[in-house]
């Protein structure tokens, strides 16, 4: 599919991943990209979805909008995370089908995988167990949307694809300690601890779990490629294929932010899923995606952006 002159709606297009994807689409010649704002279109409301699709008449819908957060936010809001994510996706898929949308790109989550999935995660293992408890409601909501697109393909011939990105990071990430994911939270904690001259930095968990991270611009490129080249509802992992322990990640971020104190792990706090690392063979075979930005380089870029973005606020406070 040549996207350049298609009418494209990107939900969540003003968010972290969304702004990078929209920039990439427009840079590639897509001149009819619309980003709905939540103040005008509440995607949990069916009437707002009908109005959005009626006004824009999109040929392609890329669904990024989601209520997301780290372990703490998921533990505090399991019902809200399940309800709002399921409602947004289910209604948007249904009305996109009814409105004659030509292609629906669903961006899910690897939180949908079972807690004890063998590493590297293969797409065929998606249903072999229950997700990790702290984010299971969110993961299951997104998982059901995979099934919905598969069912709509089977019954109606509706063209929807399912992408499962690993943990993302990069410039414009969410650095709010109450709702952020691990990399932005650690960058902020290390930078602030350095500035205060703290001797100790406490980090949740044992440090033993592993994670895989994908630089946000790589993720945007993957979605762009998949939207053009891929036409099956079977889920596809999107990641870097590189695994790192939380303890090693903390040390790396501390070194790159200049924090020189002691790192103290707090095993009384939850670890989350024991390991996360994806088999990315399917993405490479189906739409020629392979990550380009390695973690050390991506962290350098992210930290530089964060430090630059904070300076005006610090100067104003002074």
Positions marked catalytic? 138
Q: What DSSP string describes the chain?
A: ---TTS-EEEETTTSHHHHHHHHHHHHTT---EE---TTT--TTSHHHHHHHHHHH--SEEEE-------HHHHHH-HHHHHHHHHHHHHHHHHHHHHTT-SEEEEE--GGGSBTTPPSSB-GGGTTSSPBPGGGHHHHHHHHHHHHHHHHHHHHH---EEEEEE-EEE-TT----TTT--HHHHHHHHHHHHHHHT-SEEEEEB-S--EE-EEEHHHHHHHHHHHHHH----S-EEES----EEHHHHHHHHHHHHT--SEEEEETTS---SS---B--HHHHHHH-----S-HHHHHHHHHHHHHHHHHHHHHHH-
């Amino acid at each position: 599919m040549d996207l350049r002159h298609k009418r494209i709606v990107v939900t969540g297009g003003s968010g972290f991943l969304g702004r990078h994807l929209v920039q990439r689409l427009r840079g590639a010649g897509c001149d009819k990209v619309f980003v709905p704002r939540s103040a005008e279109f509440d995607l949990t409301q069916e009437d707002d979805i009908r109005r959005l699709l009626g006004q824009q008449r999109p040929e392609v819908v890329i669904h990024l909008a989601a209520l997301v957060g780290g372990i703490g936010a998921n533990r505090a809001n399991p019902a809200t995370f399940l309800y709002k994510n399921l409602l947004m996706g289910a209604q948007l898929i249904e009305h996109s089908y009814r409105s004659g949308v030509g292609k629906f790109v669903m961006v899910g989550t690897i939180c949908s995988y079972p807690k004890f999935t063998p590493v590297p995660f293969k797409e065929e293992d998606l249903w072999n167990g229950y997700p990790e408890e702290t984010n299971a409601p969110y993961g299951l909501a997104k998982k059901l949307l995979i099934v919905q697109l598969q069912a709509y393909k089977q019954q109606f011939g509706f063209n929807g694809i399912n992408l499962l990105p690993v943990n993302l990071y990069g410039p414009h990430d969410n650095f709010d300690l109450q709702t952020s994911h691990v990399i932005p939270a650690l960058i902020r904690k290390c930078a602030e601890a350095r500035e205060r001259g703290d001797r100790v930095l406490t980090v949740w968990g044992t440090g033993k779990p592993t994670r895989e991270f994908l630089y946000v611009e790589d993720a945007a490129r993957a979605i762009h490629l998949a939207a053009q080249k891929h036409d099956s509802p079977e889920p596809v992992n999107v990641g870097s294929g590189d695994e790192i322990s939380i303890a090693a990640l903390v040390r790396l971020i501390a070194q790159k932010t200049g924090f020189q104190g002691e790192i103290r792990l707090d095993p009384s706090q939850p670890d989350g899923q024991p390991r996360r690392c994806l088999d990315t063979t399917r993405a490479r075979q189906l739409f020629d995606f392979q990550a380009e930005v390695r973690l050390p380089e991506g962290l350098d870029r992210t930290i530089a952006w964060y430090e630059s973005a904070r300076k005006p606020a610090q100067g104003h406070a002074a």
